[in-house]
Amino acid sequence: QELDLKIGFSFSRMLRRNLLDLAKAKFHKDPPTTISYGPCQIPTLWFCCVRHNEIQNFQRQDYWTPKLWAELPGLGQCEFEWSE
């Protein structure tokens, strides 16, 4: 928890120095006075980054293909297979 607070404090300072003027220009009707990165946000950011990387690296795999066999009057036995 102490490490999270120290990192959050340092990161908030870096955000204020680098992004506060850009944020004020973008949100000119209600400009922010500070940008904060508080406790518990570091683990949340980590989870978001991990999930983003999982999504970016996703490799589609075929696991199964649905098939249907049916006996249709006048046609006999028919096989239907899913195709994309």
For residue 53, pLDDT beyond 90: yes
- The pLDDT assigned to 84 comes to 66
pLDDT in tens, 19-50: 778 888 888 777 777 666 666 666 777 888 99
Q: What is the per-residue pLDDT for 40? A: 64
Instruction: Give tens-digit pLDDT for 55-83.
Output: 999 998 877 778 888 988 888 888 888 77
Residue 81's closest CA among 71, 67, 69, 70? 67
Q: Is the pTM of this model over 0.75?
A: no
Backbone angles phi and psi of 77, in degrees to 5: -80, 130
Q: 37: Cβ–Cβ under 8 A, 6 or more apart, which residues?
A: 8, 11, 12, 15
